[in-house]
Each structure stands twice: as structure tokens, then as C-alpha cells.
Structure 1
């Protein structure tokens, strides 16, 4: 995408002469403010909230503030090339969309809209294991645009194999195993509202669309279980489960399956007993490239490489799992310094702008994942909003490259940033 920044600026300014302003703000602060106004309290708590006192989220941003970009003059950096080679696929930029669970809190068919917005810009999307649309439907919405699949390792190995097989059939370019959410972190914003989307059947579409999961539910549905006390809240929960489950609302309302599906999901969705030995065996279960997400130490990164994974995502889950954890950018710097240039390192947590993408690449990332901002674009303007957010981030990255003398992504090197002490 040559001169992506100038082209984006021209589009916005030309529309401005006709009295049209961008539907999606071009800066993160205003994007976040408008998205909050457009969201319910429950949606905002889940999407924007973090673990504990929110210190890890603050650490992520403070880490970016400690790095300063060093512009270079008269470099003749015209016609930048933002494309990269990642896991054997040529991509138009070093940007991928991170998996975000329960996106339908922000609007119906969230995964389909995000997939369409990603496809409009040629940007890969990592389908969430906790998505609100089956991966097959999201893949259809992306056409030929690359897609990956995030895997939460279930307690049921049959389900793990079934999800992997489906990811292979939709042409996923990689399997992204998320390691840092074997249990949910302490999230006060959700807890204070008593709000967990999965308990209402939201964010479990990969499961209710899975034949193995449905078999497990059918096995459990016939078991005796405690009937909940009839309260207004319980009735609302039952209505939500029936509405979010595949099929007819009225049929679901009369069936035990929606409730059994939610209970089964909550019991088995993730495996706290997951070990490195199990991860090492994944190579025998799929031919897909394997990416481990949630690595924050050089020791864990070395262990991952020793078992043969293809890439690592340095991530603290956007500050949503452990309060007062190390900033992902600090971890990235340490891991790249310890492991050298060879391993493929992706970065996640705290990216808000094209300048942030530039900084992460200079510190040591090969590519980055964009999380909350694309969901904010979705709540404001659907698929178009997602595409607008992506376009803005890429435009700023391109202009930052032009102003620092980097013609290609490979030329974004450590000497173009300085760490403030």
C-alpha cells in the first residue's frame, strides 16, 4: 500500500471540503469516548475493563510513553512498502486484528462485521474462540483475506480436536493458542454488575456450532440438575440464552439445551491444568502453524521455541488477566534481547495508533495485533467503522515511516527509537 498515509489524508480532507467529517474519529481518545457513549454499561465493562485496579492497562500505555521515536531528515523515503512476510504469507501491512470475545455485546453479528471490515482492508483477522458467530460464517465474510483461529484449550480433548479440524477446513493460516486465560482474571467492572456474557449464551457460538460440543451437551442434558430459583433475573437469563442459542427462540425456550450448553461451556471451556507437554503434542494434531499467545518472559519464550512453535505473541491480554503485571512492551524488549533476531515475535496489548505500531516494531515485534480500537470502530459504524480504524492506524504508520526515513518495515529498527530513563 504505497503512500497509504497521504491517500488517507487526502480522502479525509477532500470530504471535509464538502462538509463531511469522519464517522470514526482519527484519534484514540475521541474514538474511545464516542464508543463508550454508544455502548451499554455491561458491554463497556467487559470490553474496556481490565483486571483488578487496572494497573496493567496503565503499565501498557506508560511503557509506550517511555519510548521516543527519533525522526531522520532528508532520507528520500518516498513510496514506502508496508508489506511483510508472516508464516509464509505475504501481508499488506504488519497489522492483524486481535481476537475479541463476546463482541456482540457491542452489536449483533460482531464477528461478521469485523471480518468484513478486515477484508475490506486486506487485514488478517484472528477469529475468537469466544466469538458470537461460527468461524465458518466469519471465514465466508472474509473471502480470500487471511484468517487465523484462536484456540482456548478445553478440558475435553475431543472438543480440542474438533475445533482444530474446523480451523483447518476454513483455511486458517495459523492456530493461536491463548495461554493466559486458563481461568478468568479478577475483573471488578464485570463483577460489580454481576455480568458475564457467557452465562447468557453470548460468546459461545464456536461451541454451539460444534458437533462434538453438541454431543457433550446432549450427554449432559439428560442428567438431573438443580433447578434455579424462579426470579426476574433468572427469567431474563433464560430468555437471553434462548435468544443467543442457534435455532428458533420459541423452540429454545421450551428446550433444556440452551441452558445445558451454557453450563457445559462454563465447565469445560478452558483447562487450568494445561502443560508444556500437552502443548508439545500439538504438532502431531495439526499441520497448521502454531502460535502461542500470552508469553511474557524469555524463559517461556525459549520453552515455546524448544517445542517447535512457529511464532509467539507477547501479550498480557490487554491488562485483563493479572493486575500489576509487566507491560507487554517491556516484555517484548526483554524477549527480543534475550532470543535475538530469529524468532517470529508478534505483539499485543496497548496498541492505539500507527505511532504505537512503529514503536512496537522498532522495539522488536515482527507484527502487531490491534484489539479494542477495532471493536470501538465496530460499535460506531459496523464493518465500515472497523475498516476506518484500520485505515487510520496504517496511514499513521506510513506517515511515521516517511518522517523517520524507513522505506520498508524491515528498516524500522531499534536506532529509530530511544528509551527514556
Structure 2
């Protein structure tokens, strides 16, 4: 492992941080991070979807004015890479989310701080750059939800990202079998106690015990009326849900199957991206999350309709290996991998990527347009 303040040796690409994280973390924690829900089917499908896509090279194009810049939500950004919300980062590094925030500020990456963070949202904001958003889990008590919203506003977060795909948590067999038992507490929820709903005899522990506290579209309508911050929904995979979000007045969507950590039989995030893009139109802000490991993956997600991508496991692996320096280095590598891919595919900017030829290819040699 690297000495403090030093870059890790033998890191040649962003994905190399996975192997270093495996060395740095307790085996149960690494299993928790790498695994997903159930038998990890959705985790594998996220990667398989990327690997099935091929990018057709283009040649002899003038790319000396090439750039990864974009504008989203009225703000200019140097590249399309966000650090997505990752819970309880003290599991991976003693500096936790503060280290991640420092890295995001240093390399111009958008940061999405989690409700379930190891340190408070105010501490994260103090270390972060201006491009910071707050990921919100709607709480059983509206008072607790509103408290989080007001604190995020006061701390200078520029948007709320409401995770909507986890009304209950699906157990992950990889994590459980490795001995991971959780037990972390969110610093942001100190002082708030979730009411317990005990189902009556014969009732379901899920439907009558847990689902009464789960958010609905009524909560999104309520949130929209409580804040002037841009409101994003994370975890939208179906075109009908995307259209309902538009009708509710949200400002953006994140197409995501939660990194394969909830519904194990969910389709890959990548396969859901084109129909969601078609449902919301070409100009509606759309981010992607689920399975990004290299710059070519970023290219493919943008080609299929995303404006930018969020990183989950890559972020945590780099944090575990080398703290803020590792996270910043990983983003630098990922951006350069994207730029190399753009150059070889003949794309001068992100808009050009949307016109690139990306197609599915099987081992049998059968191809089809995406």
C-alpha cells in the first residue's frame, strides 16, 4: 500500500484500484462493497451490458479542439464525471467522506453526499467544492426529512437527489456469507428515531411492517413544494416512471439499478437508459449510474443517452487504497481514458458521442444496433 501522500504504485487504469482496495480492506467489508443484492446477478449484468457494446473507430478527423466540457442544469463543468452517493465511507477510510469531498474539489468532479454518511453533511460541505449535491433518503417522519433539506440548503448544496429505488433493502448473500453485519449509524440522522411499525399477527413484515414508511409520489410532490433547490430522482428505470417524474416537476433523473444492490433480477442500468431517454426527450437532464469501470464505459453511457455518469464502487475502491489522493487520481485516469476513447472514435465533444456508432456484438459474431 502507498505511504501517506503518495500515489499507489502499479496503477495503470482507474479499475486497478479494485485490487488495491482488496488488499486494504477487511475481507467482509470488501465483500460488502463488491457484492450486490441476492446472488449478485444484477451486478454481473451491469458489467455484461457494457462489455457487449462495441464502439466503431473513426479516422482522420480534426480533433485538436476536443473537449469533455458540458453544461448541465445551467452550470458549466469540465467533464461528465460525478462522485455518486456512497454510504458510510468510514468503512473504507478513516477520513471518510471528507477525503472524497477534497478529491472532488481538486479535480472538478460533482459530488453527491449521502444521507447515510459517516460524517455530517456540514462537514462534507466544508471540504467540498461548490459543485456539491445532497442525496436524500425520505425519512418516515416528514420533520426529519425537512430537517435534512433545510440543513442541505444552509450548507450550500446545489441540488437534492432523492433515491427512490430502495423502499426496502434486499439482503446481499455475498456480504452476509462473508460475515458483514453492518451496524453503522448515519451522522446526519443523530437525534432522529424512526418509528417502528409492528405488523399484526398474520400480516406481512414487508407490506404492513416496512412499506407504510416508504415514500410515494405524494412525498415527491410535497418535497417539490418545500424547496427551491433542483430536485433529481435517482433509481428510475422505467419510461412510465420517467414520464411521471416529468409530470411531478423534477429537474433531472439518474438511471440506476442501485449498482445491483436492490432488485437482483433488475435489468442492467445501461439497458434502461435508451428507453428512459426516449421518454423524457433529448434536452432533459439525465445521469447514469451502474457498472462504470473505465473511460470507454463513460463513452458508452453517453452514447446511449446520458449527460454524465456517477461513480460508486470505483470511488470507494480508490478511497480505500489512497484516500483523497487516490480518488482524485482515479478520476484523472478515468477522464483521460474517456478522452482517448473519444479520439479513437473520432468524437470532438460529448455531443459528438451521441452520434457515434455503438452496437451490440455477441461471441457468435451477430450484431445489432443499440
Relative to 1, partners in 2 of residues 1:21 and 1:120: Cα closer, same or farther, differing over 3 Å?
A: closer
Is the partner of 2:321 in helix, strand or coil? Answer: helix
**In the alignment, is the contact (CA less than 8 A) between 2:15 and 2:294 conserved in 1?**
no
**Aligned to 1:290, which of 218, 225, 231?**
231
Following superposition of structure 1 onto structure 2, how do residues 314-325 of structure 1 map, counting pairs within 5 Å?
A: 314-325=255-266
Query: Is the contact made by 1:295 and 1:313 (CA closer than 8 Å) also made in structure 2?
Result: yes
Q: CA deviation at 1:26?
A: 2.9
Quote the offset at 1:109 in angstroms. Answer: 2.3
Q: Which of 89, 110, 115 lines up with 1:129 in the alignment? A: 115
How many equivalent residue pairs? 344
Match of 1:33 in 2: 19
- Mapped partners of 2:268, 2:60: distance in 1: 34
Structure (1 or 2) with the greater helix fraction: 1
**Structure 1 residues 145 and 203 mapped into 2: Cα distance closer, same or farther (>3 Å)?**
farther
TM-score by length of 2: 0.88
Give the 3 Å change call, closer, same or farther, for CA 59–37 of structure 1 in structure 2. same
Kindly state the Cα deviation for residue 270 of structure 1 after the two structures are TM-superposed: 9.5
> Deviation at 1:409?
1.3
1:95 to 68, 81, 84: 81
CA distance in 2 between counterparts of 1:269 and 1:78 reads: 56
Match 1:65 to one of 51, 56, 74: 51
Name the CA distance, whole Å, in 2 between partners of 1:78 and 1:362. 21
SS in 2 for 1:415: coil
Counterpart secondary structure, 1:126: strand
Q: Answer yes or no: is the 8 Å Cα contact 2:36–2:261 preserved in 1.
A: yes
Matches within 5 A, 1:173-322: 173-193=158-178, 195-197=180-182, 199=183, 202-208=184-190, 214=191, 216=192, 272-322=213-263
How far apart are residue 24 of structure 1 and its match? 6.6
Please report the RMSD computed on the Cα atoms of aligned residues, expressed in angstroms: 2.1
How far has the Cα of 1:86 moved from its partner? 1.3
Output the CA distance in 2 between the equivalents of 1:39 and 1:24. Answer: 18
**How far apart, in 2, do the equivalents of 1:159 and 1:69 lie?**
47
Query: Does the aligned pair in 2 maintain the 1:109–1:133 contact within 8 Å?
Result: no
Written as runs of structure 1 = structure 2, the 5 A alignment for 1:78-157 is 78-142=64-128, 144-157=129-142
The answer to whether the 8 A contact 1:57-1:318 is kept is yes
Runs of 4+ in structure 1 over 6 Å off: 268-271
Residue 159 of structure 1 is matched in structure 2 by 144
Helix, strand or coil at the partner of 1:189 = helix
Q: TM-score, normalised by structure 1?
A: 0.78
Deviation at 1:339, TM superposition (A): 3.4
User: Which residue among 354, 366, 376 is the counterpart of 2:307?
Assistant: 366
Residue 71 of structure 1 and its aligned partner are, at CA, apart by 1.5
Aligned counterparts of 1:363 and 1:64: Cα–Cα separation in 2:
11
Supply the distance in 1 between the matched residues of 2:215 and 2:235 (Cα, whole angstroms).
Answer: 14
Determine if contact 2:14/2:330 at 8 Å carries over to the other structure.
Answer: no
Cα distance in 2 between the residues matched to 1:304 and 1:339 = 9
> What does residue 200 of structure 2 align with?
none
Contact 2:15/2:293, CA 8 A, preserved across alignment? no
Any unmatched runs of 5+ in structure 1?
1-19, 209-213, 221-267
Match of 2:321 among 368, 373, 380: 380
CA distance in 2, matches of 1:111, 1:177: 19
Q: Decide which structure has the larger Cα Rg and report it.
A: 1
Equivalents in 2 of 1:304, 1:272: separation in Å? 20
Deviations 1:43-101 (A, max 9, x none): 11221111111110111011112211112111111132211111121111111001100
Question: What CA distance in whole angstroms lies between the structure 1 residues aligned with 2:253 and 2:225?
Answer: 19
Q: Give the distance between the partners of 1:121 and 1:107, measured in 2 at CA.
A: 20
Which of 329-338 and 317-326 deviates more? 329-338
CA apart distance, 1:124 = 1.1
Residue aligning to 2:332: 391
Shift of 1:334: 1.9
